[in-house]
Structure 1
Amino acid sequence: MKEKKRAAAPSHKTNIIPIHWDATFFFERAVRSLDRYHYDKALKYFRRAVEYEPGNPVNHCNMAGILSEMGNYEESNNVLRNIVEELDPAMTECHFYMANNYANMEQYESAEDALIRYLEEDAEGQFLDEAEEMMELLHYELERPMKIASVKAREGYFEHDQARAMLEEGKFAEAVRLLETIVEKNGEFLAARNNLALAYYYMGLFDRAMTTIQEVLAQEPGNLHALCNLAIFHQHAGDAEALRPLVELLRKTVPFHQEHVFKLATTMGILGEHGQAHRHFLRLMKDGALRDDACLYHYTAVAAWNIGRLDEAERFWQQAAKMDPKSNVPGYYLEQLTHVRAGGEAGTASYHYHLPFEEQFKLWEKSSETLPDHMKRDPLVRSSFFWALRHGDRGTKLQVIQALGMIADNEVKDALRAFIQEEQEDDYLKRIAVFVLRTIGVHEALEVHLEGKATTIEHSRMPSRLPEWDPKWQEVLEAALGRMNKHYDLVQQHDLLTLWIDFLSRVYPDAPKLGKVEGWAAALEYLTAKMHRRTISYHEVSERYGTSIATVSKCAKRIDEICGIKEKMKMIFPALDAKGDA
């Protein structure tokens, strides 16, 4: 018996499977526990896996995951933070996990910081869709958009969306800066190049726009957006020979995607191919996806008008008016329709969903004080202003400079800074632009091209050639401009400035002693009004400035003696009676 037992013992030992206590063993046990929803056991096994392989970040990440599942969000984040700070900074998904934990703890600012870091550092984009959902949540909870700058996994796609939004808001210079950065980083991002070309075009930088669109077509000759843009650019340049084959190609094009149909329809309309535009706009109407957009009804109405279908145009504009009652565009064209039916001439209607440029200025003039808000916000209006600043006649440019002074944002400041450096521009217009820049808060030194050479107007609210600028002189200007602000346009205010500087320059260094500045300020307004043929009296202006008629008359006569205002006016307006007070 003993011998049999001794013989059996070795045989029994060979059937025992030894257990290897390693990280893999505990990981597998943890997974089995998770499948059975035994989270406590799973956490215990994950901790053992970490003990066996403390340098393996995956083990730590698994442990952080189960901690999060158990609601231990803070402890989970401590583990995740250790991974990215100590073990493996390349595990960028840990930032997404931390963002989730912070959101569950209702620490939304910290969640935003972690999510931004994930989006900016993660090149794979494994959780991109989930990150976008979290962005919506944070937007809601924080009551503001996220402060994100870039999404690495999209290689500029997020920035491109930002740039497109800037274009829609009329922030063309900002869009250009962002799009140039995107294109520099990713030369094959053709949508960004297309929009960069449009941004240049909206700013009036035609040569840059043409070069950029050619770069798109060099990479993809059949790019529909680029072909449409190129056709519009050729039309602008008056290059009929280059435009003809391009129009023929676009006539034969029948795009499938709604975005392409819309692009082609608007392009054909701008090119004067109204029948083709009408056909494509009706396709979009039948498709139904854009039928809630008042702009589409306007575009279709314009196409119908331009091919003589006035009844159809009327129906579409009436529908646009119902859908967008705050817009004055449908009403304007319905009035034009009534005028045509009464025997008036039928001009060509514009596809742009805003009033014609001339009508914009009429609205501004009626507003008396400032540019209407819708004109400040409308990107197409802003684009027309920037175009007119570069390509309009002298009178239009003068109007535009004043209008831009009413908008007074960073985009305007950039445009005016560029304008005053143009060699070929009129010096008077550039001086007006400098004055506008000063009045809208640009006080730093300005680089200006005046009288055939580059010059710098140093930090000063009001530029002059005088070797010194007495604070009392400035007080006179501020007293006059402060009262004139709502009653005179920027050109007239600039002329007052010029008159004051001219007077001081002629009498310097024997400038008069300035007692009460209001008398001199009132005299400047009086003479400026006379120069612009405005009705004014010494009595009216003396009351507004709180001074006497005698003081205003004395100061005005002194300025006139030195500068010869009335003599100059008699040369310009021979019928003017320069003897007395109007």
Structure 2
Amino acid sequence: MNPRKRKQAANTKRPKVIPFSLDATFFFERAVQSLDRFHYDKALKYFRRAVEYEPDNPVNHCNMAGILSEMGRYEESNDVLRSVLDRIDPAMTECYYYLANNYANMELYEAAEDALVRYLETDAEGQFLDEADELLDLLHYELNRPTKLSTIKSKENVYAHDKARELLEAGRFAEAVRILEEIIERQPDFLAARNNLGLAYYYMGLFDKSIQTISAVLEAEPGNLHALCNLAIFYQHSNQSPELNGLLELLRKTIPFHPEHVFKLATTLGIVGEHEGAYRHFRRLLRTGELSGEPSLHHFAAVAAANIGRYDDAERYWLQAQRLDSQSEVPPFYLKRLALMREGECSPPAHYHYHLPFDEQFRKWEQSPELVPGEMKQDPLIRSSFFWALRHGDRRTKMQVIQALGLVADDEVIEALKGFLADPEEEDELKRVAVLVLRSIGIQDPLNVAFGGRMLTLEPRRKSARLPVWDSAWQSVLEIAMEQMAERYDVVQQHDLMTLWVDYLSRVYPNVPKLHNAAGWAAALEYWTAKMHRRIITYADLVSRYEASQASISRYANRIDEVCGIREKLELSMKLSAYPEN
């Protein structure tokens, strides 16, 4: 044969030896094949070889422990698992679940309980939660007692989220925000927590933060219905019409299946003025029967019906709400107004809340102010509407809200009023009322206030007991004084007048005199404020400006001094200033 041909033929022959590498992966695959054929001995042998190649890989050890457990060699399996936890990877918390299973099979139930509790309290992933629940039931039966379990690590955020939702429903928005922010820091992909955080920001009047939060949800899950509905409401209240219109095109076409989603969409459409769509979805919910026993749902359907002119339907739904909730004032109120709606003399409700309209609520509270704290704590919708109105209501509404919040005076209210004081966009006159309310409920902290375009710190000048109510007659005195002092006294001096008035009322309450001559009392307050700041003032000047008699002003000034001891304090101050320290 020609040598060249021999060489060419040799070059064209394929190699007969197929190379392969003996590594952990190779033995792992062989072990799995053996398992599929129920050849446990071979599988164990191959897993042992995988461990030899990768002794620091905890998965190989766990696989070997699993085979030993399948073979009934529980103690050997436990030795391997404890070795993983002690030497190789203490963070591999699923080993505790495997240990618990082994101990249960060995009928060592207390050891199984200890291992299972350790798994549930330390494992963040929760891969075996369902299986762990079944094992807990078994241990409960065998030990004849419940297992002592302080927490489930993998459900930690779920429990915290449930707590935050309860706080939202109770109207405690600041506390809910704190918990929700912590959850998201631990678990950024917890979209339900982000949705509720956006709502909490919204209830607190923090629009920009609420939109940013909901937008983050939609970036992660563009079809999230709760986020889309929340965003529509935020756009509505921030007057972002182009964005709202684009979003409504999508929501009008959406037909959710789950009742919770149907309710969310229906209320959202109603809030943004899409009453026809809202009515259609509310009727769907009522026809299914699942929520037909909820009086609020019948009220919402009635509101939607009234807004599209279906007054007979609205009457039927409000009557049903009244039958289901005979103690509520809401259905009777709207049934009385229904005749006016039919005649066009009264507009249908503009909101989808199951409580009285804002103005009506205030009228009731003016007659019975002692009802405010209880009703605000019981109804989170009322509470949220108050916080909303504090930020976004008109001037008159904000004035009412500030005074009403003073009757509640819990920590969240106090923080909301302090935040209001620091907002440079709010009116100075409203801030004066807020300062007065904070002092009247006994807040003696320095208050940081944006007055006249600059930040000031108002220090408390005197201690006072909390006033349980704030009367409109007391407010009238203050407003008259502030109007006369506006151009003559600085903010600190006006603050001192307010705190003097609160101090006087606190000392004489509940025996506050009848304030028939509000101008005379206001002039008396200015008199003592001027004296405290060593300003020259005469009764003649006060008489001309306040149009009150000198006798009245003098009499009221003496009453204030008798209670607060101002003259004595001023004399003592003069004596001390005459003898300065060396």
Query: Where do 1:27-106 residues align within 5 Å?
Result: 65=104, 80=114, 93-95=116-118
Deviation readout 1:430-454 (Å, 9 max, x if unpaired): 2332333334343333333334332
Q: CA deviation at 1:392?
A: 2.1
**Change in CA separation of 1:154 and 1:305 when aligned onto 2, cut-off 3 Å:** same
CA distance, structure 1, for counterparts of residue 136 and residue 329 of structure 2: 39
The residue that corresponds to 2:429 in the other structure is 428
Partner of 1:265: 266
* Partner Cα distance (1:265, 1:49) in 2: 56
Measured in 2, the distance between the counterparts of 1:529 and 1:128 equals: 72
Secondary structure, counterpart of 2:188 in structure 1: coil
* Residues 342 and 232 (structure 1), Cα distance of their counterparts in 2 relative to 1, 3 Å cut: closer
- The structural deviation recorded for 1:28 is 8.9
Secondary structure of 1:183's aligned partner: helix
Indicate whether 1:239 and 2:216 are aligned: no
- The alpha-carbon deviation at position 329 of structure 1 amounts to 1.0
Show structure 1 runs of 5+ residues with no match. 1-23, 33-44, 81-90, 97-117, 139-145, 507-516, 535-558, 571-575
In 1, are the aligned partners of 2:448 and 2:455 still within 8 Å (CA)? Answer: yes
- How far apart, in 2, do the equivalents of 1:229 and 1:130 lie? 37
Matches within 5 A, 1:326-341: 326-341=327-342
Aligned-partner residue type, residue 301 of structure 2: T
SS at match of 2:450: strand
> Structure 1 residues 133 and 289 mapped into 2: Cα distance closer, same or farther (>3 Å)?
farther
Percent identity reads 43
Q: Are residue 156 (structure 1) and residue 145 (structure 2) matched?
A: no
Q: Is the 8 A contact 2:180 2:194 kept in 1?
A: yes
Amino acid corresponding to residue 186 of structure 2 in structure 1: K
User: What residue is the counterpart of 2:9 in the other structure?
Assistant: none
Range that drifts further, 181-190 or 296-305 = 181-190
1:273-352 matched pairs, under 5 angstroms: 273-341=274-342, 344-352=345-353
Structure 2 contact 233–272 (Cα < 8 Å) conserved: yes
- Give the Å deviation of 1:370: 4.8
Deviation, 1:170, is 0.8
Q: 8 Å contact 1:261–1:280 — kept in the other structure?
A: yes
Offset at 1:298? 0.7
- Alpha carbons 1:300, 1:316 under 8 Å: kept: yes
1:342 is displaced (CA, Å) by 6.3
Q: Which residue of 1 aligns with 2:390?
A: 389
Looking at structure 1, the residues matched to 379 and 542 of structure 2 have their Cα atoms a distance apart, in angstroms, of: 41
Aligned 8 A contact 2:473 2:515 in 1: no
1:123 aligns with 2:100: no
Counterpart of 1:569 in structure 2 is: 546
Given that 2:409 and 2:441 are in contact with CA atoms closer than 8 Å, whether structure 1 keeps it comes out as yes
One of 502, 507, 517 as aligned partner of 1:530 = 517
Whether the 8 Å CA contact 1:402–1:490 is kept in 2: the answer is: no
Partner Cα distance (2:374, 2:69) in 1: 66
Q: Is the 8 A contact 1:277 1:303 kept in 2?
A: yes
What does 1:381-420 correspond to in 2, within 5 Å?
Answer: 381-420=382-421
Contact 2:520 2:546 in 1 (8 A): no
Contact kept? 2:307, 2:349, Cα under 8 Å? yes
Q: Which amino acid aligns with 2:545?
A: K
The 1:405–1:490 alpha-carbon spacing in structure 2 relative to 1, beyond 3 Å, is farther
Equivalent residue, structure 2, for 1:221: 222
CA distance in 1, matches of 2:200, 2:299: 24
Confirm whether residue 194 of structure 1 aligns to residue 195 of structure 2. Answer: yes
Q: Matches of 2:285 and 2:358 in 1, distance apart?
A: 28
Give the secondary-structure state (helix, strand or coil) at the position aligned to 1:449.
strand
DSSP-derived class of the 2:444 partner: coil
Distance 1:485 1:403, change over 3 A: closer
SS of 1:455 mapped into structure 2:
strand
Contact 1:405-1:440 at 8 Å conserved across structures: yes
**Structure 1 residues 134 and 450: CA distance shift in structure 2, 3 A:** farther
Residues in 1 aligned to 2:99 and 2:149: alpha-carbon distance in whole angstroms: 30
* Displacement of 1:361: 0.5
Q: Distance in 2 between matches of 1:418 and 1:147?
A: 41
**Alignment partner of 1:207 is 2:208:** yes
Distance 1:182 1:63, change over 3 A: closer
Aligned partner letter, 2:218: L
Question: Residue 68 of structure 1: CA displacement?
Answer: 7.9
Map residues 100-115 of structure 1 onto 2, 5 A cutoff: none
Q: Does 1:367 align with 2:368?
A: yes
Q: Is the 8 A contact 2:266 2:282 kept in 1?
A: yes
Segments of 5+ residues of structure 2 without an aligned counterpart are 1-64, 86-95, 141-147, 494-503, 522-535, 557-582
Contact 1:492 1:528 in 2 (8 A): no
Output the CA distance in 1 between the equivalents of 2:470 and 2:357: 26
Alpha-carbon separation, structure 1, partners of 2:77 and 2:173: 56
The letter of the residue matching 2:423 is: E
Contact 1:294 1:320 in 2 (8 A): yes
Cα offset, 1:61, TM superposition: 5.3
Contact kept, 8 Å, 1:447 with 1:455, in 2: the verdict is yes
Which amino acid in structure 1 is aligned with residue 168 of structure 2?
Answer: L
Q: Alpha-carbon deviation of 1:251?
A: 1.3
Structure 2 Cα separation of the partners of residues 246 and 339 of structure 1: 34
Asked if 1 retains the 8 angstrom alpha-carbon contact of 2:69 and 2:102, the reply is no
Distance 1:381 1:153 in 2: 35
The answer to whether the 8 A contact 1:151-1:158 is kept is no
Is the 1:364–1:372 Cα contact (8 Å) retained in structure 2? Answer: no
CA RMSD of aligned residues (A): 4.6
Query: Residues of 2 paired with 1:496 and 1:184: CA distance?
Result: 50
How many angstroms does 1:294 deviate by? 1.0
Task: Give 1:279 shift.
Answer: 0.9
> Structure 1 length as normaliser, TM-score?
0.63
Cα distance, 1:122 vs. partner? 4.9
Equivalent AA in structure 2 for residue 530 of structure 1? N
Query: Partner of 2:356 in structure 1?
Result: 355
- Following superposition, the deviation at residue 387 of structure 1 comes to 1.5
Instruction: Say if 1:225 and 1:563 are closer, same or farther in 2 by CA, change over 3 A.
Output: farther
Rate the CA distance shift 1:221–1:53 in 2: closer, same or farther, 3 A.
Answer: closer
Offset from partner CA, 1:253-296 (integer Å, 9 cap, x none) = 11122222111111111121111111111111111111111111
Amino acid across the alignment from 1:161:
D
1:454 alignment partner, SS class: strand
Matches of 1:410 and 1:275, distance apart in 2: 41
Q: How far apart are the structure 2 equivalents of 1:493 and 1:120?
A: 62
Mapped partners of 1:129, 1:489: distance in 2: 67
Using the TM superposition, name which of 124-133 and 411-420 deviates more. Answer: 124-133
Cα offset, 1:210, TM superposition = 1.6
Kindly state the Cα deviation for residue 457 of structure 1 after the two structures are TM-superposed: 3.4
3-state secondary structure, aligned to 1:156: helix
- When residues 60 and 372 of structure 1 are mapped into structure 2, their CA distance, relative to the original with a 3 A threshold, is closer
Shift of 1:203: 0.9
Q: In structure 1, what is the Cα distance between the partners aligned to 2:474 and 2:107?
A: 63
Q: Please say which of residues 188-197 and 202-211 is displaced more in the overlay.
A: 188-197
Separation in 1 of the partners of 2:315 and 2:164? 36
1:65-123: per-residue Cα shift (whole Å, max 9, x none)? 589878xx6xx59x94xxxxxxxxxx5x2347xxxxxxxxxxxxxxxxxxxxx446553
| 1:391 to partner: Cα distance | 1.8
Q: Using the alignment, how far apart are the partners of 1:490 and 1:265 within structure 2?
A: 45
Q: Offset of 1:365 from its aligned partner? A: 0.6
* Structure 1 residue 151 displacement after superposition: 4.8
> In the superposition, relative to structure 1, how do residues 156 and 333 fare at CA in structure 2: closer, same or farther (>3 Å)?
same
Aligned equivalents of 2:410, 2:155: Cα separation in 1:
31
Aligned to 1:103: none
C-alpha distance in 2 between matches for 1:242 and 1:303: 24
Whole-Å Cα distance in 2 between the matches of residues 251 and 29 of structure 1? 56
1:160, 1:179 within 8 Å by CA — same for their partners in 2? yes
Aligned counterparts of 2:481 and 2:314: Cα–Cα separation in 1: 50
| Cα gap change, 1:441 to 1:533, in 2 (>3 Å) | closer
Corresponding pairs, count: 437
